[in-house]
A and B are shown apart, each in its own frame.
Chain A
């Protein structure tokens, strides 16, 4: 059974940094692209960032490009999102998402339960 467990969320001041982690189990981690998708309180979904199975290809939404960095450690079955220069509009639940493909990001096949990031002074 696929299991994705996010951690690292919390309250941070504008301009601050936070690193999200996702511990994956139940599948061969390196066989799948992974992504982070967020949802602001009471709002819709936004695809933030994705990474191929070997980490060689990354994707970023324009809203986070240059501020967020996605990376993975296949030896630890873990996905990460380093978030710098955080803004109030980054406040959201961040979901760790397993893809259906290896080399490209496509769809969210399995989702974690999410971790809440709140950017506020």
Chain B
């Protein structure tokens, strides 16, 4: 099973600042990497698939990059609605696996 490791566990930032979240896979997942955002009491929402392909309705301030084992989610200028937990997920090999999440807080 591929292990996904996210860092940091918690990221404290201020509105308007840039946030960089990392996700590392224990073996190559090529470009088969997705990012999700989850707010308290809500279901996750797909942000990116294919490592960098923005899902429908996702603002341009979000960007995804990387390939193989190293991936990054960047939020260029944090808005109040962006404070949430972010998960990465590999879908290169079953069983698909998620990282443990990065909480972005004020």
The minimal Cβ–Cβ distance linking A34 to chain B, given in whole angstroms, is 14
B-side contacts of A112, CB under 8 Å: 43
Listed by A's residue number, 25 A-B pairs whose Cβ atoms lie within 8 Å are A44-B99, A44-B101, A45-B36, A45-B89, A47-B89, A47-B95, A47-B96, A47-B98, A59-B95, A62-B95, A100-B49, A105-B91, A105-B94, A105-B96, A106-B32, A106-B34, A107-B49, A107-B91, A108-B36, A108-B46, A108-B89, A111-B44, A111-B45, A113-B42, A114-B43
Tell me the chain B residues, 86-102 only, with Cβ under 8 Å from chain A.
87, 89, 91, 94-101
Q: Determine whether the beta carbon of B34 is less than 8 Å from that of A44.
A: no
Per-residue contact bits, chain B 1-41, to A (CB 8 Å; 1 contact, 0 not)? 10000000000000000000000000000001010100000
Q: Determine whether the beta carbon of B97 is less than 8 Å from that of A47.
A: yes
B-side contacts of A88, CB under 8 Å: none
Per-residue contact bits, chain B 69-106, to A (CB 8 Å; 1 contact, 0 not)? 00000000000000000010101001111111100000
A-side contacts of B95, CB under 8 Å: 47, 59, 61-62
Q: Residue A46 at the B interface, CB < 8 A?
A: yes
Q: Residue A109 at the B interface, CB < 8 A?
A: yes
B-side contacts of A45, CB under 8 Å: 36, 44, 87, 89, 98, 101
In the assembled complex, the Cα of A1 lies from the Cα of B5 at a distance in Å of: 34
Interface residues of B (CB under 8 A from A): 1, 32, 34, 36, 42-46, 49, 55, 87, 89, 91, 94-101
B-side contacts of A100, CB under 8 Å: 49
Contact count band on A:
20 to 34
Interface residues of A (CB under 8 A from B): 37, 44-47, 59, 61-62, 95, 100, 105-114
If A109-B55, A112-B43 are given as contacts, then 16 extra A-B residue pairs at C-beta distance below 8 Å, sorted by A number, are: A45-B44, A45-B101, A47-B96, A59-B95, A61-B95, A62-B1, A62-B95, A95-B44, A105-B94, A106-B34, A106-B91, A108-B34, A108-B89, A110-B46, A113-B42, A113-B43
Most buried by B among A59, A108, A109, A114: A108
Q: Using CB atoms, name the residue of chain B closest to A104.
A: B91
